[in-house]
Amino acid sequence: MTENETRPLIGITAYGERARYGVWDHRTVLLPFTYPDSVIAGGGVPVLIPPLVAAAPAVDRLDAVVISGGPDVDPALYDAEPHPHTGRPRPERDAAEQEIIERALDRGIPVLAVCRGLQLLNVVLGGTLHQHLPDVVGHHGHNPTPGVFGEVEVALEPGSRVAAVLGTSVRGQCHHHQAVDQLGKDLEVTGRAADGTIEAAELAGRPFVVGVQWHPEQDDPRLFGALVAAARERTRT
């Protein structure tokens, strides 16, 4: 990037959770610092988007969007009954991020969807989820310890956008008990774990709409750099 080149504005969806800090205990808009750090490392300027439908029009002023990780997607959104292990839904966040994804897709804005983000992208496009992955794969390797990231080896599809950035395999940081089941419209699987879990998917025919099940913001900003590059390319065309 040249000294005079403007850094793209990259929106990141934030959590809406009750949190305690200092003398306060109240509802809070929050996000792990690893997300904005990764956007900055990739050459962009991070802009946090609160989990409010009224905030979704901010997408129109952004150059790209990151759909961050977080709690389980409400199974009602894909016409399923909740599994006993499915967490409490966050309808306000689900609704806001649905609107953000739809606006980004309608406007051709690049998207990087992380963990829950991939799952919600899939649901928005008409897909479904495995609500408790250990029931499917027979182990807890994708979420071995609550609050601690595990590791997963992901084989990436040659010729895919993720492979162009990361090569044909990557060891990712993971922390999830749900995953993509039936694919949404026009999504293509571009990465899998050894147990068959879908770890990466991309929207066909789009310059950059990529979802990954692992957490690249933990230790590998390359996908954020690719998102920023896609945002910059879009503004030039």
Given a contact cutoff of 8 angstroms between Cβ atoms, the answer to whether 129 and 178 are in contact is yes
Amino acid 127 reads: G
Classify strands 111-114 and 209-212 as parallel, antiparallel or unpaired. parallel
Given a contact cutoff of 8 angstroms between Cβ atoms, the answer to whether 143 and 97 are in contact is no
Please name the residue ranges forming H helices in the chain. 34-41, 91-107, 116-124, 134-137, 161-166, 222-236
The answer to whether 215 is a known catalytic residue is yes
**Which one of 99, 115, 142, 199 is the catalytic residue?**
115
**Which one of 130, 176, 177, 215 is the catalytic residue?**
215
The answer to whether 115 is a known catalytic residue is yes
**Which one of 99, 199, 202, 217 is the catalytic residue?**
217
Instruction: Work out the angle at residue 221's Cα, subtended by the Cα atoms of residues 215 and 224, and round it to the nearest 5 degrees.
Output: 90
Centroid of chain to Cα 136 = 22
What is the helix (H) or strand (E) element at residue 174, kind and residue range?
Answer: strand 169-174
The answer to whether 85 is a known catalytic residue is no
How many helices (H) and strands (E) in the chain?
6, 13
List active site positions.
Answer: 115, 215, 217
